Amino acid sequence: MSRKLYITGTDTGIGKTYISVNLLHAFNQAGLSTIGLKPIATGANPENEDALLLQQAASIKLPYADVNPLAFAPPIAPHIAAAAVNTTLTIDSLNKCMESAFAHPADIHLIEGVGGSHVPLNRHETMADWARVNNFETILVVGVRLGCINHALITLRALQADKVNVIGWIANCIDEGMDAMQENLQALRELLNVPCLAVCHKGGPVKL
Find out whether 175 and 45 touch, Cβ atoms under 8 Å. Answer: no
Q: Is 38 a catalytic residue?
A: yes
Closest CA to 15 of 169, 146, 174: 174
71: enclosing H helix or E strand = strand 70-72
Which of these is catalytic: 4, 16, 38, 163? 38
Q: State phi, psi for 23 to the nearest 5 degrees.
A: -65, -40
Closest CA to 94 of 106, 82, 105, 84: 82
Active site residues: 38
